[in-house]
Structure formats: C-alpha cells, structure tokens
C-alpha cells in the first residue's frame, strides 16, 4: 500500500492521536467551546421560554387562539358592532365539532362613575369558565369571585378601585352612548378586586357576568333572547390547529358577516417585539460562533505549525497533498464532534436544570409586563427540536469550517520547505 492510498480509518486514527499530542490545548479549546455553547443554549432557551410565556398569557388573558367577531370591529371598535344572533352562530360552531373551548364575550366602552369620581373603562362580559376569568380569579386581592347566579356584580382592577375610590360593596354606574346618540346606564356593585399585574388591565378592565354586559347591547337594539355577543374566543389545546380551523371557518356560510382572526393579527406589536428580541439573541450567538471559530483556527493552526517538519517528512515518504489535507481536516472533524458533545453536556445540563427549576425574574426586579401582555414570574428555558438541530448544526458547522484553512496550509507544505524550517 502506497502513502497515496492511506485508508480513511488510518487517517482518522492518526488525526485522533494528533489531537491529543497537546492534551492541554485540546482540553482548553473544548472547554471554551462547551462554555460558549452553554451560554448560547442559556440565551436561546431563556429567550424562547420568555417569548412562549408572553404568548400564552396574551392568549389566555386576551382573545384566544382564534377570534370570531363583527367584520368591522377590528378597524373601528364600537359597542354597536356586535353579532346579533349569538345562539345561531353558537349552534353552527357546535355542529363543526371544533376541538376548542369556545367562549362568548361582550366588550364595551363605558364611563364608570362613583360619587365624585369617573374614569373611562372597558367592560368585558364573560362566562364563569372563561380562561380570562380563571386567570383573574387567581389574582384576586379582595372580595369574592363570580357566582353562577350573579346579577350585577363587578370585578375591577386594583388601580381602578383606587381611582374611583371604590371598595368591596361600592356602587358603580356604567354609562355608554348608543349608535343613535342616546345614552344608557347600568348600576353594578363591586364584588371583587384583582391585581392582574398589567397596568392597562388594572386601570381599565371591568369584568362582569355575560348577561349583565348584554343589557348594553339591548340598548343598541339587540334581542336578548338571541344572546348577542361581541365575539367568540376559541382556545385550542393544540395551538397548531388554529391555522387549519381558521381556513375552515372562513369557508362557512356565516363567514361573510364576521371576521375570523388569529391572535397574531390582534397583537402585531408582540410579534414585532419577539422578532427584535430573537435578532438580539442571534447577534449574541454570532459573536459566540466567531470566538469559537478563532479559537479552533488557533488550535489547529498551532498544531500544523508545530508539525511542519513532520508534514515535510510525510510528503517525502510519498503522502500526497490530498491525504495530508484530509489528515488535518479529520482532526477538525473529530474536534467538531467532541465540541458538539461537550457543548451539549454543558448546555444540555443548563437547559435541564433551568427547564425544571426556572429563573425567578420577579425576584430580580424585572418588569413582567410588556407589549400588552405579561411574562410569568418564573421563566423556564424552552428549546424546540428545531432549535436543538439549529444550534447543533451551527456549532458543528462553525467548528468544522474553522479547520479548512489550517488543512489547506498543511497541504501546501513541501518537503524542502519543511526540512529547511
């Protein structure tokens, strides 16, 4: 067998041996890569965890994965833009057997007044099992929660209670104008006060039983026996189904009278924030990759320079440029594989720990409210399969690419140059 025809397995064995000639340098390089990989996993994992937390709360405290509402409501929200026949629409939705929780809601813009105080407010009429209601029930700071036979109960945010000078049992008059220019009013009584953790919700939201809010729609000409509503909010156990069902709902006969919207259409500012934050994470990841690349180039190049005479001797014994290039390239390949393994040992360990224990950002004084929604106080790192593959390929590719220049430099060594060095 000539030196020109060295088997791949032999080249791999030589590459492995060469890597561990300078054990200290190889271990330092692997440690640096593992640390950088761990920082990348931490950054991406916390980023994804916080983004998913914002999205979950935006959906639960907002309008669900899908919203079915009056076709003109999004462009110009107004009390008189409602779905007059909620009963028929509910029956049609029930017939479709949508795998989602379907919640009727009434949204109103009103003026809330007490003796000597007044403020603009948004009334939200909901059912007892509404996800938003359940979320706010967990954030109660005073009073009791909504009962099945509730008539005129009101649940308000802590900041609104302070602004109106209201407490448990206080009467609040809710006034609203009609499309025809008239005014109407309903009297309610404060039964509970919540602290949502979102300034807009604490200052502006008044939660009421659905039937109480529907009385305002009656003033707009709606028939209460047809259960008029502003919208239906759909909550899916499997969010990926929302896109499929949106398309199916838009093909139904009632689609001409309503708008079917995804949560992304209702909260574009949240999507923009996530995109910008993701870009920041990728800039950080790019900096880590640059450091990794320079570290590996330094390691392999130093190894090549130290073995110049050895490469010259191999060339003199008949090893071709291609075999020499492969030898050094295999060293980079083995280093890349070890870098990925060591990186996931560190990064995976960090992810598993923070994925189960989380980071309490509230204890760090970080604001939980942003972009019309809020993060959970404790954020757990989250990494999807796509992210795992992406991180692995980026580190492996960067590490492998780093060995190309040293391999080419080694292949260019001539026996005479090497022996003269």
Note the pLDDT tens digit of each residue in 52-105.
Answer: 888 988 888 888 999 999 888 888 788 888 898 989 999 999 999 999 999 999
Of the pLDDT bands very low, low, confident and very high (cuts 50, 70, 90), residue 348 is confident
70 closest CA partner among 258, 209, 345 = 258
Residue 39 parent element (H or E): helix 23-61
Average pLDDT of the residues in 338-342: 82
Q: In this predicted model, which residue has the larger pLDDT, 401 or 2?
A: 401
H/E element, 262: strand 258-262
Q: Distance (Å, rounded) from C-alpha 410 to C-alpha 11?
A: 15
What stretches of 209-267 show up as alpha helix (H) in DSSP?
210-219, 241-249, 263-266
Whether pLDDT at 5 is above 70: no
The angle that helices 321-357 and 23-61 make with each other, rounded to 10 degrees, is: 40
Q: Which of 105, 140, 96 is nearest to 125 (CA)?
A: 105
Comparing 111 with 12, the larger pLDDT belongs to: 111
Domain ranges of the chain: 3-59+270-420, 66-238
Mean per-residue pLDDT, 350-368? 77
Among 25-29, 41-45, 237-241, 361-365, top mean pLDDT goes to: 237-241
44 pLDDT band, cuts 50/70/90, is confident
Residues in the chain: 421
Count CB neighbours of 396 within 10 A: 16
Confidence of residue 208 (pLDDT cuts 50, 70, 90): very high
Judge whether residue 227 has pLDDT over 50.
yes
pLDDT score for 192: 95
CA–CA–CA angle 220, 224, 230 (5° rounding): 60
**pLDDT reading at 240 higher than 70:** yes
- Please report the sign of the dihedral spanned by the C-alpha atoms of residue 410, residue 415, residue 417, residue 421: positive
Higher pLDDT, 303 or 119: 119
**pLDDT higher for 213 or 420?**
213
pLDDT of residue 385: 83
pLDDT the model gives residue 417:
63
Q: Are 48 and 385 in contact (CB under 8 A)?
A: no
Q: Which residue has the higher pLDDT, 204 or 420?
A: 204
Mean pLDDT value across residues 320-326: 77
pLDDT bracket for residue 2 (50, 70, 90): very low
Task: Share the mean pLDDT of the chain.
Answer: 84
């Amino acid at each position: 067998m000539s030196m020109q025809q060295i088997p791949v397995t032999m080249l791999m064995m030589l590459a492995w041996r060469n890597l561990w000639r300078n054990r200290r340098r190889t271990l330092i390089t692997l440690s640096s890569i593992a640390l950088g990989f761990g920082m990348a996993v931490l950054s991406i994992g916390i980023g994804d965890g916080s983004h998913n937390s914002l999205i979950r709360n935006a959906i639960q405290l907002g309008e669900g994965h899908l919203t079915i509402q009056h076709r003109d409501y999004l462009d110009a929200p107004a009390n008189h833009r409602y779905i007059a026949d909620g009963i028929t629409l509910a029956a049609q939705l029930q017939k479709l057997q949508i795998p989602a929780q379907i919640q009727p809601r009434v949204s109103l813009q009103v003026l809330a007044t007490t003796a000597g105080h007044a403020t603009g407010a948004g009334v939200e009429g909901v059912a007892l099992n509404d996800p938003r209601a359940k979320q706010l029930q967990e954030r109660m700071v005073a009073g009791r929660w909504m009962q099945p036979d509730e008539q005129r109960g009101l649940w308000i945010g802590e900041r609104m209670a302070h602004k109106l000078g209201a407490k448990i049992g206080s009467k609040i008059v809710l006034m609203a104008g009609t499309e025809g220019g008239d005014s109407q009013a309903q009297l309610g009584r404060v039964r509970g006060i919540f602290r949502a953790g979102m300034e807009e919700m604490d200052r502006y939201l008044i939660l009421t039983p659905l039937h109480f809010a529907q009385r305002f729609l009656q003033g707009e000409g709606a028939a209460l026996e047809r259960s008029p509503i502003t919208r239906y909010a759909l909550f899916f156990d499997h969010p990926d189904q929302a896109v499929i069902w949106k398309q199916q709902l838009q093909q139904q006969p009632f689609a001409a009278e309503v708008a079917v919207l995804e949560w992304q259409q209702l909260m574009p500012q949240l999507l923009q924030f996530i995109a910008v934050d993701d870009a920041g994470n990728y800039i950080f990841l790019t900096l880590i990759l640059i450091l990794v690349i320079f570290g590996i180039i330094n390691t392999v190049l130093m190894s090549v320079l130290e073995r110049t005479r050895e490469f010259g001797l191999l060339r003199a014994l008949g090893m071709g440029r291609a075999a020499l290039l492969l030898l050094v390239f295999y060293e980079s390949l083995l280093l890349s594989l070890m870098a990925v393994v060591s990186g996931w040992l560190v990064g995976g360990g960090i992810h598993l720990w923070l994925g189960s224990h989380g980071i309490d950002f509230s204890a760090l004084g970080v604001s939980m409210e942003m972009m019309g929604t809020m993060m959970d106080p404790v954020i757990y790192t989250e990494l999807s399969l796509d992210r795992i593959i992406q991180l692995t390929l980026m580190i492996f590719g960067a590490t492998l690419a780093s060995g190309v220049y040293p391999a080419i430099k080694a292949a260019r060594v001539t026996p005479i140059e090497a022996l003269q060095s």
